[in-house]
Amino acid sequence: MKKELITADYGSRNQVLRWREKKVFATYKMLEELRKRDPNAPKKPDYQEVVVPVKQKKLPIRRPTAPHASILYQRRKEKQMNELTKEDKAQEDYIINMVLQTFTKEKQDSTQSKL
């Protein structure tokens, strides 16, 4: 509106920019009425459609599907710990047998000493 008033010479740019809203509307109405009555009055400018730039959407953050190296290392270690070799099993059995034998000997000794 203010630009139209400035181009129609209703005042300088500084004057029109300082006007209050009521005065701008009143002056614009007067300009519209003048345009209807007088064919030589400054015509309304042809406003081109302003193309509003669309904000680009941020691409979603892609999370890696493969686990981190530290997780892979932990899994590998757990797997190694869970997989007992035949030697490990044999060693476990030997230790268990030894513990059971010593336990039973101690029990027998304690029962004989009480008698």
Give the model confidence (pLDDT) of 7-44 as tens digits.
777 778 888 888 888 988 898 898 888 888 887 777 77
In a domain, 44, yes or no: no
Residue the block writes with tokens 């899994």: 75
Supply the range of the domain harboring residue 17: 2-37
Closest-CA residue to 4 (of 44, 48, 49): 44
| pTM for the whole structure | 0.38
* Contacts of 54 by beta carbon, 8 Å cutoff, 6+ apart: none
pLDDT band per the 50, 70, 90 thresholds, residue 97: very high
Outline where 8-51 has alpha helix (H): 13-18, 21-37
In a domain, 22, yes or no: yes
In a domain, 11, yes or no: yes
pLDDT digits (tens, 9 = 90+) for 54-82: 887 877 777 767 667 888 888 888 887 77
Average pLDDT along the chain:
81
Q: How many domains does the chain have?
A: 2
The predicted structure's pLDDT at residue 84:
67
In a domain, 56, yes or no: no
Between CA 24 and CA 35, with CA 38 as vertex, the angle to 5 degrees is 35
